[in-house]
Amino acid sequence: MTDKKRIDIREVINQGLLAGLVALSLSVIGFISLLGEREMIAGIFTMGHVFLFAAPVGIASVLAEKIKHENTGKVLGFGFLIGVITALPLIVLIILATSFDIRQFLVNVSPELIHLLTFGQNLVVGSIMLVVITGILSLLAAGLRLLPEIWRRPITSGLAWTLLFGTFSEILLSRVRAFFGRGVAKLVFSGKALNPITALLILIIAAAIAYWNVTKRSKSEQKEVEVSPEKQQKSQRIRVVVGIISLLILPLLLGTYLSEVMNNVGIYVLMGLGLNIVVGFAGLLDLGYVAFFAIGAYVMGILTSEGHLGLGFTFWTALPFSVLASTLFGILLGIPVLRMRGDYLAIVTLGFGEIIRILALSDMLKQFIGGAQGVLQIPKPSIFGYDLTKPEALYYIILIGVLIAAFVSWRLRDSRLGRQWMALREDETVAEAMGINLVNTKLLAFATGAAFSGLAGAIFASKLTSIFPHSFNLIVSINVLSLIIVGGIGSLPGVVVGALILVGLPELLREFAEHRLLMYGALLIVMMLAKPEGFWPSETIKRELHAHKEFEAGSSD
C-alpha cells in the first residue's frame, strides 16, 4: 500500500449517488417500509431506518478508510457530503409521492414509506431532517475511521451488539418471558422492541467488554503462548462434547416455534450436506437437486400415507426405501450427464428437476402420486408407540439424520474417494489421466448426494404430513446452492452456517421472508465478488478461488 489514492470531489459525488440509488431502490421495492414495521429500539428507530442508512454509512466508512491519511476536515466533509447526496434521490421520491399518485405504477411507494422517510413530519421539514440525519450519520461513520483502535473498536462493537439485540428483540422477548416471567420482560422490553434504557445498557456493556479485550490483547501480544498438540486435541474433544450436549438440550431452551425453525434449518442442512458432496467435493454443479428431495418425500408419502394413495408402511420401514429410491435416481439421472461439464451439466440437471416436478404435477401420474392435490395424511414418525408430533421431538430425528450425514461426509472427504472427487473438481482430464475412474467417481457423488437429499425429503414429508408438487420447485435447489455457497463451498461447518443464515434468519424475521429471494440473489452476487470462499471456507477452495487474483497481483505464493 505505498501509493495512496487521491480521491477528488467527483468520486465522492459518484459514491454518494450510488448510495442514494441503493437507498432509493430499497425504498421503492418495499423493503424499507416492510422493515419499518419492526421496531428495534422502542420509539427511536426501526429496522427500516437501519437499511435506509446502511448504504451511505457503509460507503462513507469505506471512503474514509481510503483517505484517512488526509486532513480531518476533508474526511468529515466528504462523509457529510455522501450523506447529503444520498438523501437527494429520496427527496425526489418524497416530492413525487406527495404530489402525484405514483402508487399506481410503483405499488410499494406507500404512505408508510413516506412517513418513514420524512420521520412523520411534513414535506419540507421531513426532507430537511432526512438530509441532516443521513449527513450526520455518514459524517460520524467517516469520523469513526479517524479514531484510534482503542476507541473505535468498543464503539463499533457496542453498536453491533445493540443492533443484534434489537433485531432479535421479538425472540428474546418470548424467551425472557418464558424463563424470567412477564415482569422482567416488561422491564426490559417495551412493546416488542428493546427499551431505550436496555439498549443503552447493552451498548455500554458491549463497549466495555470490547475495550477490555482491546487493552488485554495489546498487553498479551508479546507473550504468545504455545499450546501443545495434546492440549489442543483435548480442548477440541471438550468442545465437541459441549457442542453435542448443547445440541441435545436445545429444543428445551428454544420452545416450540424456534424448534420448528431449527427443524427447517436441519432439513436444509441435510440437503446442503448432500449437495456439498456433489458441488463442493466433486465440482458437479447440480441445479436439479430438488428432484431427489422430491423423490424421497414422495416415496415416504406414498408408502406411509393413511389416505387412499397409501400403502400402509410406517415411517421407519419406509425410510430405507425413500433413501434407496433417491439414491437409485441419483445414479439413473447421473448416467446421461456423465460426459457433461460445467454449465451444460447445470442446465441439464435443472431440466431434470423441472421434468420431475411437472410429472408430479401432471394428470398422467395422478392416480399414483396425486397430481396437483399431492399426497395427504402422511403420519408423523413414532418410536415405541410414542408419536413424535411436536417439533421438539422431531428435532431429534432430524438431528440424528444431520449427524449421520455430517459424519459420512466428513469421513468421505478424507477418504480415497473424497480425494478422487477433489481431483475431479480440479481438473477432469488430468484426474482421468491419473487413473481415476470418472464414471464410478461421478456416479458415487451423485448417489451419495441424492441419498442425503432423499433422507431430507422423507423427513420433510412426515414432518409436514402432506406434500404437494409445488413444494419441490427450482427455488429449493437454488436455496440449497446458495446456502452452501454462503457457508463456503466444500466446507462442512459452512453448510450449517449457511443454513442458519439463509433458512433460519428469514424465519425469525418474517419481514425478510417476503424478500428472501431478492436477498439470495444479491447475496450470491456479493459473495462471488467479495468472498467467493464463503463465511466458513474450506482451505483448498479458498486457495483455488484466490489463485487468479494472486496471479494478477503478480505474487506466486
Q: Is 503 in the site for another protein (CB under 8 A)?
A: no
Residue 355 CB, nearest distance to another protein (Å)? Answer: 5
Q: Which of residues 11-40 bind another protein (CB under 8 A)?
A: 25, 28-31
CB atoms within 10 A of CB 253: 12
Using the minimum distance from each CB to another protein, give the nearer residue, 464 or 545: 545
Among 207, 361, 480, 505, binds another protein (CB under 8 A): 361
Tell me how far apart the alpha carbons of residues 122 and 130 are, in angstroms, rounded to a whole number.
12
At its nearest, how many Å lie between another protein and the CB of residue 106? Answer: 6
Residue 338 found at the interface with another protein (CB under 8 A): yes
DSSP state of 467: B
- Indicate which single residue of 94, 520, 537, 538 sits in contact with another protein (rule: CB under 8 A): 520
Which member of 216, 231, 239, 341 binds another protein (CB under 8 A)? 341
**Contact flags string 308-337 toward another protein, x per CB under 8 A:** ---------------------------xxx
Binder among 17, 340, 501, 508 for another protein (CB under 8 A): 340
* Closer Cβ to another protein, 345 or 398, answer by number: 345
CA-CA distance, 481 to 451, in Å (whole number)? 17
Among 529, 553, 556, 557, binds another protein (CB under 8 A): 529
Task: Out of 481, 499, 502, 505, point to the residue binding another protein (CB under 8 A).
Answer: 481
* Residues forming beta bridges with residue 46, ordered by sequence position: 39
Residue closer to another protein, measured from CB, 208 or 522: 522
CA dist., res. 294 & res. 361, Å (int): 12
Residue 375 DSSP symbol:
B
Least distance between another protein and beta carbon 238 (Å): 38
545 forms part of the interface with another protein (CB under 8 A) = yes
* Binds another protein by CB under 8 A, chosen from 192, 377, 524, 540: 524
Contact 314, 382 (CB under 8 A): yes
CB of 556 to another protein, least distance (A): 16
Stretch that binds another protein, among 43-51, 165-173, 396-404, 436-444 (CB under 8 A): 436-444
Q: Which residues contact 300 (CB under 8 A, 6 or more apart)?
A: 315, 318, 319, 322, 378, 457, 458, 461, 462
d(CA 507, CA 7) in angstroms, rounded, equals 42
Check binding of 92 to another protein (CB under 8 A).
Answer: no
Instruction: Please identify which residue in 204, 364, 400, 430 interacts with another protein, judged by CB under 8 A.
Output: 364
| Cβ contact 239:448 at 8 Å | no
Closest CA to 296 of 418, 476, 479, 498: 476
How many Å is the Cα radius of gyration of the chain?
27
Residue among 209, 324, 359, 404 that touches another protein (CB under 8 A): 359
Amino acid letter, residue 376? L
* Minimum distance from residue 94 beta carbon to another protein (Å): 17
Q: Does 517 bind another protein (CB under 8 A)?
A: yes
For the bound state, the minimum distance from the C-beta of residue 475 to another protein, rounded and expressed in Å, comes to 8
Rounded Cα distance, 442 and 464, in Å: 33
Q: How far apart are CA 222 and CA 303, in angstroms?
A: 65
3-state SS record for 312-338: CCCHHHHHHHHHHHHHHHHHHHHHHHC
Q: To the nearest whole angstrom, how small is the minimum distance from the Cβ of residue 491 to another protein?
A: 16
- Residue 83 CB coordination number (10 Å): 30
3-state helix, strand, coil in the chain (%, to 5): 75, 5, 20
- Residues contributing to the site for another protein (CB under 8 A): 25, 28-31, 105-108, 283, 285, 287, 335-344, 346-348, 350-352, 354-355, 358-359, 361-364, 366, 437, 439-440, 443-444, 478, 481-482, 485, 515, 517-518, 520-525, 528-529, 532, 544-545, 548, 552
